[in-house]
Chain A
Amino acid sequence: MFNQNNFYSSAFAKLQSINYPLLGLIITLFFVGLAVLYSISNGDFNSWPLKHSQRFMLGLIIFFLVIFFDLRLIFGYAYVIFFLSIISLVIIPFFGIESNGATRWINIAGISLQPSEFVKYTLILALAKYFHSINNDSSFIKTLIIPLIITIVPVLLVIIQPDLGTALIILLGGISLFWISGLNYKYFIVGVFSILCSLPVLWQYLKDYQRDRVLTFFNPERDPLGNGYHIMQSKIALGSGGIFGKGYMEGTQSHLNFLPEMQTDFIFTMLGEEFGFIGTLLLLLMYAALIMISIRLALKSRSLFSKYLSLGVCNVFFIYVFVNIGMVTGLLPVVGVPLPFISYGGSSMLAVMFGFGLLMNCYINRNIIIEKTNY
């Protein structure tokens, strides 16, 4: 069944059926990120830009690897993949690397990875498989509690790292699949209501610095030299960029170091300062286009699994973009979320390429019908 000829011809067919506008947009976004990183490193390609390129190359390899796997295989191993990613989260407290008071990374063959970045997508994978397989007549417990547990476990594991931002994205990504897969909207109303009621309780469990960030978000002037400093400086950088920006490599907020963490979480600000409103608008349009194409591709799949998976990936991606930009523009608290394809960060780059690999695989195999399994 599996001879070489067959493999090559099917590989070629797969390459042919890739949606190139989507891949093109991804590559374009990478180059935008590269340009901004080049500016941040003051024209030194060998520092951040080079590493960023290497990571993107690695990301592309992962992207194509994911494409070449049989979708049914991915479906079959969905829970296993999810379980492995959960294991990697569980071992973090024992083998993880600590940085800035949080333990988020593990070292695999000399490369430090952030498992929580991948969990965003493996959760979608598991939920997609689960929702694909349930029946209409399933009991309340079986149909609702199990996926809730699947969702809550990684969220809690990430919260204790502690990494509130990533936990929120995982949670929102999971919940978005509940919605897509047709959960009665009444549960959402009940859910939102109960979350609002439990907020005061949750507050008790937040770390001091997390509380600080939330408080500072509502009033940045509260602590202009501490947490509010980041938000203030980010807003100043964006605002002073104006319509046309200060010019490439001319940003004063960034190049004079007033802007914190500009190569990672605040990279959008850097772009906004140097390229102005025109630049930020163009970037937002690119992201919007990427999301629109993703949705269109997702809905072309025949199997529910593919649709759920693709839409889930798309939602997670959207939440990424929204939380990051919302954060740097002062609409959301500073939670430390990178901007996909642009921010300097290995795990996030590899994870997002993994996600889009899944999405593209679903598109290529859009006509495959996947049987329900007994979850």
Chain B
Amino acid sequence: MKKTGKFIFQKYDTENLINRRAALVTIAKAGVFSVLVGRLAYLQIAENSNYKKLSDKNRITHRFLEPERGIIFDLQGRPMAINKQKYEIIIIKEETKDVEKSLVNLKSLLPHANIDIEKILKEVNSRKKFIPVGIIDDLTWEDFSKINVNIHKLEGIYPQIGFKRYYTQGESHSHLIGYVSPISKNEEESNPLSKLSTAKAGKIGVEKAKDAILRGKLGNKNIEVNASGREIRELDRVNSVQGNYIQLTIDSELQKFCYERLKGLSGSVSVINVKNGEFYALASSPSYDPNIFSKSISNETWENLLSDKYKPLINKSISNQYPPGSTIKPFVALAALESGVSHKETFFCDGKHLIEDTSLESGYKTFHCWKKEGHGNVDMTKAIKESCDVYFYQIARRIGINKIAEVCKRYGLGEKVFKSLYEEKSGVVPNKQWKLENLGSRWMVGETLSAGIGQGYFLTTAAQLSLALAQLINNGTRLIPKLIYDNKTSNIYNERIIADPRYLKIIKNALDEATNAPGGTSYRSRIIGKYKMAGKTGTSQVRAISIKEREEGLIKNKDLPWEKRDHGLFIGYGPTSDPKYAVSVIVEHGGSGSGSAAPIASDIFKYLFEKKLNLKRNEIFNV
């Protein structure tokens, strides 16, 4: 061993050297093996629980299960909004390396399908990476199975069976029931269904108002998937819970009848039960097919709906506000009676009424009656029957705007009828304070006169008018307006009397004469038979008529462009013997109430009377 360090290869004592060096190598090998064993012990024993979690994360995927939406029934128990099975395709960002590549593959697989890759990419990137995003909403069975066969090429893409909303009544009910479409960004927080991008939410109508009840609860499941994302088996599942059913007080046949009767016109109808506040119809025309929203709607269709001058997307029974015109007169008359005006007191009508107005050159302002030659001596009954404006100018001036406003508000005008429908408008019942607050100026006497015939600042909706009339006709019982049927509160009267029955009798009688006595404004639309209707017409101006125009002679409505024609209104009740229904009809730019709205109301009452005054009902509850 003395020579150590001087040799290149040690060639003496080789036997020992080999043994020594082999031993060193063996020790080194043993060391390496120990390291390997240690490493394995570390991975498989010490870190086992960590890696177990990672392994489960690999193989187990969490999926939310879309709940079926609650069904909406009508009063007779007919399903109006139901769910149909559909085949859809979704993508989950987290589960693919390349979203775009998967989408391109999908597109090449379904060349005829309308897949906007850029739009989907945008949508995918704007959401959390584990949220599935819908690609194709409604697929044929053939395409669906094609996807299933080629799923290995479509990383992160999954075919699934979902539900689509279907509206059995089509366009006749679309405003009222509304429609559903994908949950929007600002709804995400409040809607637990937003974890599922394919989930829908009600956007308008009852679908929106009762969305929380209808939507149901998400289910979820854990599934085992392989590396390419194909589902191998289901590990566990919590089923989704279907949303609750809702039964409306709407009678779908009546609603359809009303809608059909409005065909070709722009307007609305509201039918209410005067005894219990149930709304049987809330129709609006023109309309749209709510089922187009179940598929993704094209921009063009949407733009057309938005720009249509007849405003098909608006529910005209609650969302469009109109000056009530002469239909306000029964309420003004009631205000007069309550203010001590005798119904027998007469006023003289010579076709116009003058009030002082120093701002004008002539020193006075003229208010015209619709009847140019005047009504002569007019008492309250005649004033309502023949709709004398001069009578109402004078009593309005006497009792003042605040009294008129107080009575109107008491009957529900200027206030939303259904608190839950988001798109409903409240209307306006003006008074001095209202003007000061909203327009910042003092009330003028002339404005009281305009208000007396339902013009000026006055705005109401069809639903409001029907409710107000119903409460007038049922001897002043305040009603709880009902659109959603529920057996807990139905048929229970709210006992608060809101008017003196004697006064109401006078007005009811005047309304009866307005329809059923010769000379009444709606005499032509009267119903001859066992049951009769009664009601008040109204014609509300949409433009101011200038003095010059009046001197030159009024242009007839039919000669004016559509947008400038007067609105035609009618509020009525029936049967007169024992009132059960109140109806309001508004025909936008229909010319006059007696010409356009009253005949429609008449037909609706005929329909109701034929049904022997009893609409069939069939309670459906799973609440």
A276 nearest in chain B by CB position: B44
In the bound complex, what is the Cα–Cα distance between A277 and B47 (angstroms)? 12
* Residues A235 and B43 in contact, CB atoms below 8 Å apart: yes
> Which chain B residues lie closer than 8 Å to A186 at the CB level?
5
Q: From A144, A258, A322, give the contact of B8 (CB < 8 A).
A: A144
B23 vs chain A, min Cβ distance (A): 9
User: Contact string, B162-197, partner A, CB cutoff 8 A, digits 1/0?
Assistant: 000000000000000000000000000000000000
Give 10 nearest A-B pairs by CB, closest first.
A239-B51, A136-B11, A240-B55, A257-B227, A256-B226, A277-B44, A182-B10, A242-B48, A240-B51, A239-B43
Number of interface residues of B (CB under 8 A): 45
User: Contact string, B30-42, partner A, CB cutoff 8 A, digits 1/0?
Assistant: 1011011101110
* Residues B58 and A256 in contact, CB atoms below 8 Å apart: yes
Is B237 an interface residue, CB under 8 A from the partner? no
In the bound complex, what is the Cα–Cα distance between A256 and B224 (angstroms)? 9
CB within 8 Å of B: which A315-365 residues: 315, 318, 322, 325-326, 329-331
Is B112 an interface residue, CB under 8 A from the partner? no
In the bound complex, what is the Cα–Cα distance between A277 and B45 (angstroms)? 7
User: Contact string, B251-283, partner A, CB cutoff 8 A, digits 1/0?
Assistant: 000000000000000000000000000000000
> Which chain B residues lie closer than 8 Å to A176 at the CB level?
25
Is B54 an interface residue, CB under 8 A from the partner? yes
* Residues A243 and B48 in contact, CB atoms below 8 Å apart: yes
In the bound complex, what is the Cα–Cα distance between A299 and B589 (angstroms)? 114
A142 nearest in chain B by CB position: B8
25 A-B pairs in the complex with CB atoms less than 8 angstroms apart: A138-B9, A143-B8, A179-B21, A182-B9, A182-B11, A184-B10, A236-B51, A239-B51, A240-B51, A252-B58, A252-B59, A253-B59, A256-B58, A256-B226, A258-B226, A258-B227, A276-B44, A277-B45, A280-B44, A292-B26, A299-B19, A311-B22, A311-B25, A318-B29, A329-B39
* Residues A243 and B55 in contact, CB atoms below 8 Å apart: no
* Residues A134 and B9 in contact, CB atoms below 8 Å apart: yes
In the bound complex, what is the Cα–Cα distance between A307 and B16 (angstroms)? 12
Is A71 an interface residue, CB under 8 A from the partner? no
Is B149 an interface residue, CB under 8 A from the partner? no
Is B225 an interface residue, CB under 8 A from the partner? yes
Binding site for B on A (CB under 8 A): 131, 134-136, 138, 140, 143-144, 176, 179-184, 186-187, 225, 233, 235-243, 252-253, 256-258, 272, 276-277, 280-281, 284, 287-288, 291-292, 295, 298-299, 304, 307, 311, 315, 318, 322, 325-326, 329-331
Is B127 an interface residue, CB under 8 A from the partner? no
* Residues B9 and A272 in contact, CB atoms below 8 Å apart: no
Say whether, besides A136-B9, A299-B22, A240 and B54 are in contact (CB < 8 Å).
yes
B10 nearest in chain A by CB position: A182
Q: From B32, B33, B36, give the contact of A329 (CB < 8 A).
A: B36
B347 vs chain A, min Cβ distance (A): 89
Is B52 an interface residue, CB under 8 A from the partner? yes
Say whether, besides A257-B228, A295-B26, A331-B35, A182 and B17 are in contact (CB < 8 Å).
yes
Say whether, besides A144-B8, A242-B44, A256 and B21 are in contact (CB < 8 Å).
no
Looking at B8, B29, B35, B97, the one whose CB has the most chain A CB atoms below 10 A away is B8
* Residues B40 and A280 in contact, CB atoms below 8 Å apart: yes
* Residues A295 and B22 in contact, CB atoms below 8 Å apart: yes
A246 nearest in chain B by CB position: B55
Q: From B25, B39, B59, B232, give the contact of A180 (CB < 8 A).
A: B25
Is B547 an interface residue, CB under 8 A from the partner? no
B42 vs chain A, min Cβ distance (A): 9
Say whether, besides A134-B9, A258-B227, A284 and B51 are in contact (CB < 8 Å).
no
* Residues A239 and B33 in contact, CB atoms below 8 Å apart: no
* Residues B47 and A239 in contact, CB atoms below 8 Å apart: yes
> Which chain A residues lie closer than 8 Å to B487 at the CB level?
none
**A-B contacts at CB below 8 angstroms, number:** 148
> Which chain A residues lie closer than 8 Å to B29 at the CB level?
291, 318
Say whether, besides A135-B11, A280-B44, A284-B36, A236 and B17 are in contact (CB < 8 Å).
no
* Residues A179 and B25 in contact, CB atoms below 8 Å apart: yes
* Residues B8 and A184 in contact, CB atoms below 8 Å apart: yes
Give 5 A-B pairs besides A140-B8, A182-B10, A322-B32 with Cβ atoms closer than 8 angstroms: A134-B9, A239-B54, A243-B45, A284-B36, A315-B25
In the bound complex, what is the Cα–Cα distance between A281 and B228 (angstroms)? 32
* Residues B59 and A236 in contact, CB atoms below 8 Å apart: no
Q: From A180, A253, A257, A277, give the contact of B18 (CB < 8 A).
A: A180
In the bound complex, what is the Cα–Cα distance between A228 and B35 (angstroms)? 22
Q: From A239, A257, A288, give the contact of B52 (CB < 8 A).
A: A239
In the bound complex, what is the Cα–Cα distance between A118 and B302 (angstroms)? 73
In the bound complex, what is the Cα–Cα distance between A76 and B39 (angstroms)? 44
In the bound complex, what is the Cα–Cα distance between A295 and B29 (angstroms)? 11
In the bound complex, what is the Cα–Cα distance between A63 and B22 (angstroms)? 24
Q: Looking at chain A's contact residues, is the secondary structure mostly helix, strand, loop, or mixed?
A: helix
* Residues A256 and B227 in contact, CB atoms below 8 Å apart: yes
> Which chain B residues lie closer than 8 Å to A143 at the CB level?
8-9
* Residues A329 and B43 in contact, CB atoms below 8 Å apart: yes
> Which chain B residues lie closer than 8 Å to A281 at the CB level?
37, 40
* Residues A242 and B52 in contact, CB atoms below 8 Å apart: yes
> Which chain B residues lie closer than 8 Å to A307 at the CB level?
18
Looking at A242, A291, A322, the one whose CB has the most chain B CB atoms below 10 A away is A242
Looking at B35, B51, B224, B226, the one whose CB has the most chain A CB atoms below 10 A away is B51
A287 nearest in chain B by CB position: B33
Q: From A182, A239, A280, give the contact of B48 (CB < 8 A).
A: A239
> Which chain B residues lie closer than 8 Å to A299 at the CB level?
18-19, 22
Say whether, besides A236-B54, A240-B48, A329-B40, A258 and B32 are in contact (CB < 8 Å).
no
> Which chain A residues lie closer than 8 Å to B18 at the CB level?
180, 182, 299, 304, 307, 311
Is B14 an interface residue, CB under 8 A from the partner? yes
> Which chain A residues lie closer than 8 Å to B19 at the CB level?
299
In the bound complex, what is the Cα–Cα distance between A299 and B15 (angstroms)? 9
> Which chain B residues lie closer than 8 Å to A233 at the CB level?
58
A144 vs chain B, min Cβ distance (A): 6
> Which chain B residues lie closer than 8 Å to A136 at the CB level?
7, 9-12
Is B50 an interface residue, CB under 8 A from the partner? yes
In the bound complex, what is the Cα–Cα distance between A131 and B11 (angstroms)? 10
> Which chain B residues lie closer than 8 Å to A236 at the CB level?
51, 54-55, 58
A268 nearest in chain B by CB position: B40
In the bound complex, what is the Cα–Cα distance between A135 and B8 (angstroms)? 10
> Which chain B residues lie closer than 8 Å to A182 at the CB level?
7, 9-11, 14, 17-18, 21
User: Contact string, B228-239, partner A, CB cutoff 8 A, digits 1/0?
Assistant: 100010000000
In the bound complex, what is the Cα–Cα distance between A325 and B35 (angstroms)? 11
* Residues A184 and B44 in contact, CB atoms below 8 Å apart: no
> Which chain A residues lie closer than 8 Å to B21 at the CB level?
179-180, 182
* Residues A183 and B8 in contact, CB atoms below 8 Å apart: yes
Say whether, besides A180-B25, A184-B7, A237 and B17 are in contact (CB < 8 Å).
no
B209 vs chain A, min Cβ distance (A): 46
B302 vs chain A, min Cβ distance (A): 40
In the bound complex, what is the Cα–Cα distance between A183 and B17 (angstroms)? 10
Q: From B25, B26, B45, B97, give the contact of A242 (CB < 8 A).
A: B45
> Which chain B residues lie closer than 8 Å to A135 at the CB level?
11
> Which chain A residues lie closer than 8 Å to B232 at the CB level?
256
B29 vs chain A, min Cβ distance (A): 5
> Which chain A residues lie closer than 8 Å to B97 at the CB level?
225
> Which chain A residues lie closer than 8 Å to B50 at the CB level?
239
In the bound complex, what is the Cα–Cα distance between A291 and B7 (angstroms)? 30
B163 vs chain A, min Cβ distance (A): 30
* Residues A272 and B51 in contact, CB atoms below 8 Å apart: no
A143 nearest in chain B by CB position: B8
* Residues A239 and B9 in contact, CB atoms below 8 Å apart: no
B229 vs chain A, min Cβ distance (A): 10
Looking at A182, A186, A315, the one whose CB has the most chain B CB atoms below 10 A away is A182
* Residues A258 and B59 in contact, CB atoms below 8 Å apart: yes
> Which chain B residues lie closer than 8 Å to A239 at the CB level?
43-44, 47-48, 50-52, 54-55
Say whether, besides A182-B11, A252-B58, A322-B32, A238 and B43 are in contact (CB < 8 Å).
yes
B155 vs chain A, min Cβ distance (A): 11
In the bound complex, what is the Cα–Cα distance between A230 and B557 (angstroms)? 82
